[in-house]
Structure 1
Amino acid sequence: MHVLATNPELYGTLIEAQAIPLFITLLSHENSDIVGATLNLLQELTDVDILNESVEGAEQLVRALLDARIVECIVASFATLNETVKDDADALHNGLTVFENILDFHPAFSQDCVQHGLFQWLLKRATQRGTFDGNKMYASEMLALLLQTSDAAREQLTAKVDGMELLLRALASYKRHDPTSLDEREHMENLFDGLCSSLLHPPNRKKFLDGEGLQLMNLMLRERKQSRESALKVLDHATTGPEGKENCANGKVDKFIQRQNKENTTPADKGDGDKMREYLDRLDGGLYTLQNVTLLLSDICVQLNSARQRAIKLFSMKVRQEKLSAHFIPILSEYAENLGETADEERRRIDTFIARLNAAEKAERKQ
């Protein structure tokens, strides 16, 4: 059989000999060694270089595999493999390679991957908690590929399970810790790429906001780890187009105004002269939330001009004061004044926000 992998012009004969149904039967065998050998053979038969040597034979093979529902069969075979055993882990890797090979030769195969269970399997495997390994990276690579190339994949991300939550949870582990290897760094970037692509589907942007995706990206920007640049890219995707700008800025501006109004109408207890107690009471009364929303909005607005312009427009419509500095700087200043003695880095961050907000408005006045 392995000899046929070097002679794709004979694939038609292979199909006539009813080899494909035999492969399907072997994939469901209870012996994982037989399953592994079958996946290895399929990986060789679908090697991209071999397929391109004989397009006619390759098309016959791919068509026969699709007719035999190869996606469902291989995904089902994964359940029989124990990835803690090297041979089984290699077999699973070969199975993923079969999918990648067919996708490369026949891009429309992405529909089958989404419809017949591979996409959901990749989503769960790529975001699975626990030890990082090569198959986890391979799963994230293929997940990102499907999200980049398939509208159906982007739509299904949150259809059966909350895939947005899974992606954000997996990425949250890189909030304060860098990947430990180049392969894990690639895995992290795959997850970010998949997240960016998923945001091309407008309903996923709402899921992103509801899942506190903006807050997570903001924390990554603050921590300055390897995830920082990719987090900024996600924010750019989240605010691209009318839906993104509306969802991102509108929700946060509304929340800002709501909390600011509550803060302004909360009576201050000036009788005891205890300013710290008064400040803590205000934090409990809504100031804490107002500060967090202000920090998030400030960070986004100084990083992304599109978000800044949207925020200006919203403030102008809702409270007739479009200057962001008038809204943000008093809150940022009070927040900085009440930071602890060891929070020098956070103070510098706030000073940067204030300086950049003022600089942007000064530049606009000159125009």
Structure 2
Amino acid sequence: MFPSRAPSQTIFKQVLGRRGVSTHTERHLGNVGDWTEFQAERHARTRLKNSLEGYGSAQNKSNTWTPGKAASAASSETTLSALVAAGAHMGHHTSRMNPNFMAYAYGERAGITVIDLEHTLPLLRRAARVTRAIAREGGSILFVGTRPDLRPLVENAAGRIGHTGYHVGGRWLPGMFTNRANFFGKDRLENLDLLPDLVVFLNPLANLTAIRECATEHIPTIGIIDSNADPRLVMYAIPANDESVRTAELISGVLSVAGREGAMERWASLNQQRSRRLTPQEVEEKKLTRLMEAWRPTKPHSWSQVKAAKPLREGEWSWDVTEKSEKKAPIGFRTQLVNFTKFVRDGAEGEDTDA
């Protein structure tokens, strides 16, 4: 047999040592002194790492991008790095580029259109603001993704929003909006509003029928537009790679988180209004105070002829306007105030004649 020409481990380590490359070897800790030395070296390395972190970038688990973080990030936390990592900048072949997509194309590389993410990020944040505003007003949001790999994405997106979030993960049935009377029945149409307030398309080109129905019913739409599609298909276009599942997960996650924030703002405002709601007794007292301030006499000394107010029922008052009169004013604020102002006017004229 011929001898092996592969270098031995000793020669290999010597060559690497001359080149300044260290190899990982298992250290034997035989006694307490070896263990103490090992702990001191590890502590020194930790101190050196902490001191150098301020002068450069250090990658750890907290600042490393992962696909799971993109699905639950807010629109303000979404960055260009996350879009690039998700592959949102990769378009179709240049021969398939739509002429109306030229404004969102950065260039080409190896025959592939590169999407300008400097346009994608602000348009994504604009769509998130629209979603948040609609959810804040109590509107319903529908996510549409008819590919099998998009089905779990639309389900998760609708689940984040809550009871106002809906999804379509299978085939779109033509006439679901325009012919909804035959789909759901006229009885349900009278009691339920079956049209959503916003529709988000993760693959618009495969759902052109649904987009036409939304345009017929005047429903705003948001869609991921690739380089082979016309951005005018939807109302709020997001130029990105529509074939990437990771890109669809990022965009649907940002929009669903924005919808969840809007729904939470709505519930917070409703709870605040409930806490400020007055009781019926407080409402009647406020009414009485407001009316008395509006009909208050100009001469304060004329109040000396008025007896104390006597309640007839809860929330209703009657005024004895003279000491001789035993008849009380009819129940009702308007009649009481008319009699009261008549008394004040007569009393003021009598005081003027006496003077």
Normalising to structure 2: TM-score of the pair? 0.25
- Higher-helix-fraction structure: 1
Of structures 1 and 2, the one with the larger relative CO (CA 8 A, separation 6+) is: 2
The structure with the larger Rg is 2
Write 1 or 2 for the structure with the bigger share of strand: 2
TM-score, normalising length: structure 1: 0.24
